[in-house]
Chains A and B, each alone.
Chain A
Amino acid sequence: MIRYYTEDHEWIEVENDEATVGITDYAQGQLGDVVFVETPAAETILAKGDDAAVVESVKAASDVYAPVSGEVTDGNEALVDDPALVNNDPEGEGWFFKMKLTDTSELTALMDEDGYKEFIADL
């Protein structure tokens, strides 16, 4: 399994052509207390950059974009009842959705963990 990161502060963990997507610890820290998450339904077709999910903190709403293209296979139901999972375990139990990738070559445009660490250090 390899984990990639986007400049929109999402992580995507890939095994073959299957991926899990969430937002980074940095992102949840910036958002603050998450009070609502809307994840995409299974079978939703997403092109890279599409609005995929909505995450709302006490103060503001943010969109989560599809980091790469694919078909959603599962949305994290646990976030409906416990949106704070995004704050407490953003890169684990707080995942947003799983997808089947259409074009794994899109992954090459993303950052690896070290690249992302450098990216946020400069923010």
Chain B
Amino acid sequence: MSDADLKLYLDQWHQDLDGRMVSFAGYSMPVQYEGVMAEHIWTRENAGLFDVSHMGQLIFSSDDSSIDIGVELEKLLPANIIKLGVNRLRYSMLLAEGGGILDDLMVTRREHDFYMVVNGAVKHEDMAYIRENLNDAITLNYMEDHSLLALQGPKAGYVMKQLIPTTDDLFFMQAGSYDWNGVKLWISRSGYTGEDGFEISVHNDDVHKLADALIQYEEVKPIGLGARDSLRLEAGLPLYGHDLTSETMPFSANLAFAVPKRRREEAGFIGDVHILKQFADGPETLRVGIAVEGRQPVREGAIIVDDNDKQIGIITSGGFAPTLQRPIAMGYVPMALSQEGTDIIIQQRGKNIAAKVTAMPFVPNGYRRPPKAA
């Protein structure tokens, strides 16, 4: 931990719960409380409470009624924003001119504005880049006075419903404004664990009260960054700065779904020329899931080699999957080797480890999706 690290509003709260604090994204953050394995399994079976207040919460608004913020955001993001309904959220990316991914994010259309959550480690760069490329008639607000909590797990819905009964109406990727005993909360049914759950934006003055209220439920335990990482890896979700970088383009990152058909046809977003070319040509490498044989985890930076020990790919995330009790990884392989079931060789500290390309998520999602229309 460095002295320069910012403190979360719940800093003392985490320490009182025996959170082990580490430096992450410029903040002092809890990496674990009772242990990564126990916290991971608790989240998969019950509900975990995460403090992710290091993430950047942004609001896009405009006083000019002739400005369509959705249209303007489509110049920045490759997502289908103009068709996004009110109180609906979507995964998207901030792209460089050359098509590389500068960050990945969630964007929500609200009644009068747009709400965006970006990664903590790059939020200031994001804001500068967005401001530089955004219509001046749109105001960009950084919600520094708000914290962000995530409640994740199969029992998250039950707990949230006890706290605020009307949240039961939310399905995956829906959001809304809620009143909790006079405290205003912005709640999204979303998360980064593959489980059902919520992300709750709350004013710093109220975050302590909310965290206390949530932790009162016997279904809820505080969960640190360690388990957050192993949970998202099992869910097959990429981590910016590791699985995605400014060198990665969306199709290679296996995020084609985030550049929908209309946007491919119409283009008109930063990086479009390069991204559409990659779509037409097909990417050279693809982010895939990897099942590692044996028990030894492979880590970020381990290389994927061919039969002659020549590097052909790289591991971008890897670890031990507590749910599966075996090592799993994510990495980039040549397209020809990206088919499920393909045998690959990983080299780590001079040792060859057998592995197989496999489908993601590694653990089935538990999202609460809306019932299918009859």
Residues of A within 8 A of B (CB): 32-33, 35-36, 38, 54, 56-61, 80, 83
Minimal beta-carbon separation of B330 from chain A (angstroms):
15
Residues of A within 8 A of B229 (CB): 59
> In the complex, A61 Cα to B37 Cα: how many Å?
15
> If the complex has contacts A56-B320, A58-B319, A58-B320, are A36 and B37 also in contact, measured as CB distance less than 8 A?
no
Residues of B within 8 A of A33 (CB): 35-38, 322
> In the complex, A99 Cα to B38 Cα: how many Å?
34
- 13 A-B residue pairings within 8 Å (CB atoms): A32-B37, A32-B226, A33-B35, A35-B297, A35-B320, A35-B327, A36-B295, A36-B297, A56-B320, A58-B36, A58-B40, A58-B226, A58-B320
Return the chain B residue nearest A80 by Cβ.
B295
Residues of B within 8 A of A32 (CB): 32, 35-37, 226
**Pairwise interchain contact A58-B296, C-beta atoms closer than 8 A:** no
Main secondary structure of the interface of B (DSSP, over half): mixed
Minimal beta-carbon separation of B203 from chain A (angstroms):
32
Q: Does B285 contact A (CB under 8 A)?
A: no
Chain B CB within 10 Å, residue with most, of A57, A59, A60: A59
Residues of A within 8 A of B349 (CB): 54
Minimal beta-carbon separation of B347 from chain A (angstroms):
14
Residues of A within 8 A of B319 (CB): 58-59
**Pairwise interchain contact B40-A35, C-beta atoms closer than 8 A:** no
User: CB within 8 A of A56: which of B36, B40, B296, B322?
Assistant: B296
**Pairwise interchain contact B296-A36, C-beta atoms closer than 8 A:** yes
Q: Does B193 contact A (CB under 8 A)?
A: no
Q: Does B263 contact A (CB under 8 A)?
A: no
Minimal beta-carbon separation of B234 from chain A (angstroms):
11
Minimal beta-carbon separation of A85 from chain B (angstroms):
14
> In the complex, A56 Cα to B319 Cα: how many Å?
9
Residues of A within 8 A of B299 (CB): 60-61
> In the complex, A75 Cα to B55 Cα: how many Å?
45
